[in-house]
Amino acid sequence: MNKKMLAVLPLSALLLVGCATSTTSSSSFSTQGIQWITPTGAPTLAFFDQGANANWVSSSSPATAVVPALKTDTYDAVVFDGVSGLNVLMAAENPQYKLAQWISGGNFYLVSTKHASGDTFVTGETIQGFVKTGNAAQSFLKLSKDSWKWSYDVDTDVVWAAGVADIKTTLLANDTAYDYYLLAEPVLTATSKALKDKNVTLNVIYDLQAEWKKAYQQATIPAAALFVNTNHYATNKGAIDLFLKETQARQDKAATNDASVKTALDAYGDDTATNTRFGFTSALANSLQETNRFSILASGVITDKKAFANDFATTLGGSAYPDNLFLG
């Protein structure tokens, strides 16, 4: 196995201070020549056998590495939160990327160490969420007000963290700091296990995906999507189409309990290397894969990529995205 790590500096700074990104070198892949960047975490499961591919950059600092990539001509493809990516492209004078396919749906949950499922929310109780403009936060705000009829002041009763990892930090430092917390997989399972070691139970109050589907009759909450560089696509369509096809094939395996996923992750390296590259260990991925807690989207789940984005946006009270932001 190849464990040699190559540090990659983040692209121009944006929003947050970043940290180092890593890749590894490799001999040959069917996707050889296609260069792409992703955040670490759930979306990387769609690239479970590409860990040693030097053409893939995975970053634990999406704000400073992945978001700016949508504004440059550096990569053939960029994986990012689909709705947030579309919003970035909407604001661009000449967007260079189009959404080509969805990789994952939401894996967002409302949890608590103080309360159990079925408890009544009391005005004045507090909530810690992450990324106020993100899909986890926006779907929570919509559901809690419209469906659950919670009464709270979003400016005083909700505290927003920069990312989901910060919620884990809060819980491990003081699990009763807030009444409720927003978490996403795989951080949820990792946090729950760490708290269990302290004899603390982390209760899932709401599965936001199930609640969203019930309330709005939509497949799930949108999460990660793959964006294609339109300039590169015009000159390298065949190779990029093959890349998209192979990515979907890996998604189909990742959405099931296919043993090849764990085999590939185990072959990449030890827990430290795998966690750095993918954002989770092989064992954690395998345990969540059994019930697709990563919410990787298999073929046929999303039949209309534009409608998937637009239904979510308009349900939140926004406008539909223009057709020119979608490939095909």
Tokens of 92: 């661009």
Task: Compute the C-alpha angle 313/316/322, nearest 5°.
Answer: 20
**Beta-carbon count within 10 A of 300 CB:** 7
CATH number 3.40.190.10 is the correct assignment for the domain at 108-216:
yes
Assigned architecture for domain 6-105+222-325 = 3-Layer(aba) Sandwich (3.40)
Contact between residue 232 and residue 244 where contact means Cβ atoms under 8 Å apart: no
The boundaries of every CATH 3.40.190.10 domain in the chain are 6-105+222-325, 108-216
Tokens of 36: 């792409």
Q: What is the pLDDT along the chain (328 residues), one digit of tens a residue?
A: 443 333 332 322 222 222 333 333 333 456 668 999 999 999 999 999 999 999 999 998 888 999 999 999 999 999 999 999 999 999 999 999 999 999 999 999 999 999 999 999 999 999 999 988 889 999 999 999 999 999 999 999 999 998 888 999 999 999 999 999 999 999 999 999 999 999 999 999 999 999 999 999 999 999 999 999 999 999 999 999 999 999 999 999 999 989 999 999 999 999 999 999 999 999 999 999 999 999 999 999 999 999 999 999 999 999 999 999 999 8
Residue in the block written with tokens 């989207």 = 297
